[in-house]
Every structure is written in C-alpha cells, then in structure tokens.
C-alpha cells in the first residue's frame, strides 16, 4: 500500500476504522466498521458521506469550451445552461467509450469530473484535442459526495442555498469552509450532492458533516452496490473501449442535436459507427438482470439461452447482492434477441445454470430532486 | 470445540455426531454474508471436499469438509437468512451436523487457545 496515493482524507478514514484497499492507484476505504450492507442501507434511509477525491477535477477555459468539448463527446454541451451539469462520455475513433464524465457549465468555463483510473488519459486527450482551450487539472481540492434523503438537511446547515438546487444544478456557494463547488448529483440513485472543497478545509467540512447524526462515512463497497441498484454503469466493468454507447443502452445520454439530422450532427470520434447504430441497432445490448435464486451472479458469469447446452449469449459485467432489493442484482450484455425485459435466461455459477431474468433499470426507483 | 486452519469450528456432541460452522473471526473477515449453499441430508462427504459455498458482499468462498462422514442435519435457517451467520457464527449460524466416519483428523485440529494464537 506504500506506493499508493492518498487523498487528503486518508487519516479520517483510518481514524474511522476503514479497511483501506488499492483502487485506481489510491488507498481508498472499501468499508468502515458497520460494513457494506449497513452502509448501503444507511445511505438509502439517511445520508452517506463518500470521499471521491481520487476522481479528476478539471477546468476548461477558452472562447467556447462547450462547443470545443463537443469534438470529443457525443453530447450537446453548447446548449447546456449556465449552472447546469450533464452526463457525458469520451468516445474513441472505433466508437468505444474511453471514459464517462460529468460536465458543468459554470459561466465562463466548464468544470469536468472524470474517473480516477482514466484521469491522466482524459487530461491528455483534452489537451491534444482541445488546442483552443486551457485544460487545468485541479489538484488542491478534495471531492466529497453526500448522498441520501437527509443530504439536503445536512448540507443546508453549511450552505443553505444548496437546498434550492435541483438535480444536476451546479453552484459555487460560500461557506465557513471557503467556496464550495456543489452539484446536486451523485452516483447512488439518491438525491444528494457532490462537493468540491479546498484541501485545507476538507477535513473540517467532513468532520462537520459527520457531526450530524444522520451522516455516516460510506466506503467503495456500498458505493458499488448503490450504483448497481440505480442501474448506473461502472466504467471499466459495464462500459469500456469495447462497448459502444448504443450497445451500452446509453442512447438517452446522446441528445438529438448530435444525432442524424440534428443541427450539430456527428463531429465526435466514432460518429460513423455510433450514428449508424442509432438507425440499425446493435447485435448485443446492456440489460439489467435479476437472478432467480439467492446466488449472486458476479462479473464474468456467462449467460445462456437454455438450462443446458448451447453457446454463451452474453455475460455479466457487474453483479452483487442488492441490500435494498434484498436480492442479488446484476447487469451485463446479451445478444439482442434476449434483451427484452422479462426474457428468461440462465447464468452459469459454479458449473450450474441458474435462472436469471432480464429486467428494467434502475432496479429501484431513483429519488433525484427534479 | 476444535478449530481448523480453514477457520471452521467442530463441536462434538454427546451422541457422537459433530456440528460444523465457521468461526466468528472468519465471518467478520468475510463481511456481510448474503448467500450460502449447504450440502443435503444424507450426503456422504470426504475430508477436504468443497461442501459449502458461502458468498459475502465481497466474494465467494468454499468451505471444506473437516472430516469424512454422512450429513445428518443441515441448518436451513441460514439459507433463508444468511445474515444469521454474521450474528452468531459459533452458535445459531452453524452449518451442518455430521456422523463422522473417522475422527482421527480431530487430533490435528487446534483447540481454542491454539486457534486464538493462529489468528493472532
């Protein structure tokens, strides 16, 4: 663990009894004393505080940074309102997904949050692809996520205006901990916030939030089961360079203005394949999967059309026990003829083919404050 | 009570059968247990066979048969509520009862003090 990077909240995690594990080059808390199940449930019924400082925070400045960034992603960013955020992904020339990210319009610049494992590549990609923009990696700010039904009340004590924000709004709010860069978003399916705070104030902000009885620290283990129940993709598992946006069922994240016939059609890497797939569909598709027994079907589980014989028709890319569903839950890719909701297929677990049903996502309705 | 290096406990009963489970330490290390697959009553097992599959929120693990013998009872309550294993691994969270065919390996297994030293 000694060669791993640490976030500014490393000591906080250790003091709270975290089990630290390597994740994307960082020592990160996978769980605290209560354990994954209790942490998951706590986030759904109260509020969870996550250290996500390992993620990349980047500012893009230029004449028209939103229009410029459209050269690297299939999202409509030029029309994104000031104070609004949008989910996006970088695509490769072959139509695969290089990383997913959040893009916020903060008036005279964009604020971008990217995955930890991809941040160096993403920054290099933006520097190479956006010569008309200044790409500044923010390295002196921590990033906290506060998620769950009590998140609004807990943050209101520190930044009252945050309570008036809607899902995917962003704002810079003054506080006792300096300016907080806040978005009303997250990756758990819950209402909540992501909060960027200066490194020197991060510990004090975390301690203040944790002094609220409703707020508990939550590790990466519960973060994974929370996002899975919410049907959200984990980059590197459910989407990667080998999956296209249409295969990944992410059509909703590509606005019409960038599709065929749109005013700013194409013009992003892999557009030829991706736009064609909007017309023709794909041979496989990412789907939700609800196992028919209590046995979890984890990433790598092969999927079959029949209880015996035949070739695999897909595989699981994420799978875990869903503490809120009180049942195992998975997602994965299946051949398109098996992708309809309700289709009965089989997952091979320890040599046995167990029933699993294709299901709509999210598995549990999200509670975003729209 | 005897303990194996695989973190199982084995309790000999007055009727000569043995009850098998995993230690509190093992349950704690595994984290929240969400699934368990037990053998069936009447199954014959051979020492070191993989006879139980246990899955926690983190990963799947195999539990090995500590002795040769015949399964005479299984704890079906933990199949419906695997969390019982975390709550009381060395009591209500027991796995199965065995009619042992050969008790010789018991001599090799640790007593409580030995197991405590083993887990440090």
- Looking at the complex, does the CB of residue A31 fall below 8 Å from at least one CB of chain B? yes
pLDDT of residue A29: 98
What class has domain A10-53+140-229?
Answer: alpha beta
Q: What is the pLDDT of residues A137-168, one digit of tens each?
A: 999 999 999 999 999 999 999 999 999 999 99
The whole-angstrom separation of Cα B38 and Cα B53 is 7
pLDDT of residue B59: 84
Question: Do B57 and A295 make contact, defined as CB atoms within 8 angstroms?
Answer: no
Q: What is the pLDDT of residues B82-104, one digit of tens each?
A: 999 999 999 999 999 999 999 99
Beta carbons within 10 angstroms of residue A224's beta carbon:
19
Q: Across chain A, what does the average pLDDT equal? A: 97
Percent of chain A with pLDDT over 70: 99
CA A114 to chain centre: 9
For chain A, the first-to-last Cα distance in angstroms comes to: 41
Average pLDDT rounded to a whole number, residues B7-27: 97
- Looking at the complex, does the CB of residue B31 fall below 8 Å from at least one CB of chain A? yes
The whole-angstrom separation of Cα A295 and Cα B100 is 29
Degrees, nearest 5: CA angle B114-B115-B120: 100
DSSP A81-145: PTTBEEEEEEE-TTS-EEEEEEEEE-SSSEEEEE-GGGHHHHHHHHHHH-TTEEEEEE-SEEEEE
Give yes or no for a contact between A155 and A195, defined as CB atoms under 8 angstroms apart. Answer: yes
Average pLDDT rounded to a whole number, residues A78-105: 98
Task: Give the dihedral of Cα atoms B86, B87, B89, B93; nearest 10 deg.
Answer: -100
The whole-angstrom separation of Cα A308 and Cα A352 is 9
pLDDT of residue A1: 58
Q: What is the pLDDT of residues B23-70, one digit of tens each?
A: 999 999 999 999 999 999 999 999 999 999 999 998 899 999 999 999
Q: Which of residues 80-119 of B touch A (CB under 8 A)?
A: 82-83
B94: helix, strand or coil: coil
**Statement: residue A319 has pLDDT above 80:** yes
pLDDT of residue B58: 85
Nearest to A87 by CA among A181, A170, A162: A170
- Looking at the complex, does the CB of residue A7 fall below 8 Å from at least one CB of chain B? no
- ipTM score assigned to the predicted complex: 0.86
List the single residue in B32, B55, B82 with the smallest CB-CB distance to A35: B32
- pLDDT-derived band at A235 (thresholds 50, 70, 90) equals very high
Average pLDDT rounded to a whole number, residues A301-309: 97
Q: What are phi and psi of A187, to 5 degrees?
A: -140, 40
Q: What is the pLDDT of residues A179-195, one digit of tens each?
A: 999 999 999 999 999 99
Q: Which of B30, B33, B34, B78 to mutate to test the interface with A (most CBs of A within 10 A)?
A: B34
Average pLDDT rounded to a whole number, residues A266-294: 98
Nearest to A5 by CA among A39, A44, A52, A54: A54
Average pLDDT rounded to a whole number, residues A122-131: 98
The whole-angstrom separation of Cα B87 and Cα A32 is 17
Q: Which of A38, A292, A321 to mutate to test the interface with B (most CBs of B within 10 A)?
A: A321
- Which CATH number among 3.30.565.10, 2.40.30.110, 1.10.3720.10, 3.40.80.10 corresponds to the domain A283-363? 2.40.30.110
Q: Which domains does chain B have, with CATH numbers?
A: 2-104 (2.40.50.100)
Instruction: Give the residue extent of every domain in chain A.
Output: 10-53+140-229, 283-363
């Amino acid at each position: 663990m000694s060669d791993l990077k640490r976030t500014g909240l490393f000591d906080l995690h250790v003091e709270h009894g975290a089990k630290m594990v390597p994740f994307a080059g960082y020592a990160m808390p996978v769980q605290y004393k209560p354990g994954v199940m209790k942490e998951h449930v706590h986030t759904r019924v109260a509020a969870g505080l996550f250290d996500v400082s390992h993620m990349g925070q980047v500012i893009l400045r230029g004449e028209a940074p939103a229009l410029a960034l459209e050269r690297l992603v299939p999202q409509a960013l030029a029309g994104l309102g000031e104070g609004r955020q949008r989910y996006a992904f970088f695509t490769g020339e072959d139509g695969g997904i290089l990383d997913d990210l959040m893009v916020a319009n903060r008036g005279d610049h964009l604020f971008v949050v990217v995955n930890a494992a991809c941040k160096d590549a993403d920054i290099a990609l933006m520097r190479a692809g956006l010569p008309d923009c200044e790409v500044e990696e923010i390295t002196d700010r921590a990033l906290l996520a506060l998620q769950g039904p009590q998140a609004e009340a807990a943050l209101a004590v520190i930044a009252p205006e945050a309570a008036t924000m809607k899902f995917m709004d962003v704002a810079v709010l003054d506080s006792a901990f300096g300016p907080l860069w806040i978005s009303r978003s997250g990756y758990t399916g819950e209402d909540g916030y992501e909060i960027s705070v200066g490194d020197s104030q991060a510990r004090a902000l975390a301690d203040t939030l944790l002094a609220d009885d409703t707020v508990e620290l939550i590790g990466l283990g519960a973060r994974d089961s929370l996002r899975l129940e919410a049907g959200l993709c984990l980059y590197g598992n459910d989407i990667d360079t080998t999956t296209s946006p249409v295969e990944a069922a992410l059509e909703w994240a590509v606005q019409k203005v960038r599709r065929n016939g749109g005013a700013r059609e194409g013009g992003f890497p892999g557009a030829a394949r991706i736009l064609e797939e909007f017309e023709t569909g794909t041979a496989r598709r990412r789907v939700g999967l609800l196992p028919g027994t209590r046995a979890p079907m984890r990433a790598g589980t092969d999927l079959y059309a029949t209880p015996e014989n035949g070739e695999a028709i897909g595989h699981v890319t994420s799978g875990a026990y869903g503490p809120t569903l009180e049942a195992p839950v998975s997602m994965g890719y299946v051949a398109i003829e098996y992708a309809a909701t309700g289709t009965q297929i089989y997952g091979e677990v320890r040599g046995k083919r167990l029933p699993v049903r294709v299901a709509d996502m999210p598995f549990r309705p999200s509670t975003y404050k729209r | 009570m005897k303990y194996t290096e695989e973190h199982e406990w084995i309790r000999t009963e007055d009727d000569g059968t043995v009850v098998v489970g995993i230690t509190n330490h093992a349950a704690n290390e595994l984290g929240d247990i969400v699934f368990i697959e037990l053998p069936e009553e009447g199954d014959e097992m051979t020492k070191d066979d993989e006879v139980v599959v246990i899955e926690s929120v983190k990963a799947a693990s195999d539990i090995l048969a500590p002795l040769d013998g015949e399964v005479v009872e299984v704890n079906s309550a933990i199949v419906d509520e695997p969390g019982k294993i975390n709550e009381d691994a060395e009591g209500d969270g027991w796995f199965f009862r065995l009619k042992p065919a050969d008790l010789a390996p018991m001599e090799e297994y640790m007593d409580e003090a030995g197991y405590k030293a083993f887990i440090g």
